[in-house]
Amino acid sequence: MTAVAVFIVLIGLMGLVGSLIPTYQICHQKQAGHRGWHLLLAMIGMFILGYVGFLWMLMHRNTASLEMVVAAVFSAGGGFVWLVVKMSQETILTLQNTLAEKHYQAYHDPLTDLANRHQLYEKIDELSQNENTHFCFLMMDLNDFKMINDNLGHDAGDKVLQIIAHRIQTMMPMQALAVRLGGDEFAVVLPSSCIDQAKQLAQSIQQHIMQDILCEGHRLAVGISIGIACYPQDGEDRKTLMKNADIAMYKAKRSGNTYETYSTNDDINDFPQS
């Protein structure tokens, strides 16, 4: 009976030992690292010592019915701890994945996977909080995109937007943020940059986007108008900066140039507002 009792207790001991790693992982997860898990980890360590002590006792005395009952309780206890810890870890992981997915959806455009307007606002606000920072903001609008939707349908239009978004993303330098504002409007935040760097990026984006797009058996060439405004000289807050970049963009659209930079001489009344 001693060998049977030892085997039964070992099953429970393996459950406790198997619980150590997942409990330790839960303790070090930022969202789930509650002090209760640290206490549970310490208690599992104490349980393991108790199990080892009971095993030593079993091997040095005759095993009776009472010892068998206790061995069964120890075995079930170890299995119970392992089961609870594993189920808790899986539940926490599922919740974290759900939260991460919801967070991603809240900050990204579902069609193009670019950052969305909400993430743009937070990025500009974050950058503008630093008094010594300077950055450029590019507002972009596709030329005559409505014709694609009207002639080829919205499915084709969505495909074109996805291709253009991918091309814009591939042109982004490090730390730059590419954004889809909605419809056929895009934007770029270019941290720690000067106006010359913004102009260079605008030219590169235009050249890349102008490459033919094959869609629904048609070869399309899509143009883009880009307006550039720089912080802080063209706007000391997000609303002003975006408005002035919008004005510069419509100046580019009206003039037929690839891009235009904002100037204080631009009259807001001369340009439509998006």
- Would you tell me how many other CB atoms lie within 10 Å of the CB of residue 98? 10
Contact 219, 123 (CB under 8 A): no
Q: What is the pLDDT of residue 274?
A: 46
Name the residue among 262, 149, 155, 169 with its Cα closest to residue 209. 169
Whole-number pLDDT of residue 269: 53
Show the low-confidence residues of the chain (pLDDT under 70).
30-33, 216, 266-274
Residue partners of 231: CB distance under 8 A and separation at least 6: 124, 127, 128, 133, 134, 135, 136, 137, 241
Look at residue 147 in the predicted model and tell me its pLDDT. Answer: 86
Could you list the active site residues? 184
Q: Are 168 and 226 in contact (CB under 8 A)?
A: no
pLDDT of residue 4: 87
**Which of 154, 180, 153 minimizes the C-alpha distance to 166?**
180
Q: What pLDDT score was predicted for residue 225? A: 94
Predicted TM-score of the model (pTM): 0.72
Question: Which is nearest to 137 in space by CA: 37, 246, 21?
Answer: 246
For residue 224, what pLDDT is reported? 93
**What pLDDT is stored for residue 152 in this prediction?**
85
DSSP readout, 147-190? Answer: HHHHHH-HHHHHHHHHHHHHHHHHTPPTT-EEEEEETTEEEEEE
What is the C-alpha to C-alpha distance for residues 15 and 84, in angstroms, rounded to an integer?
Answer: 11
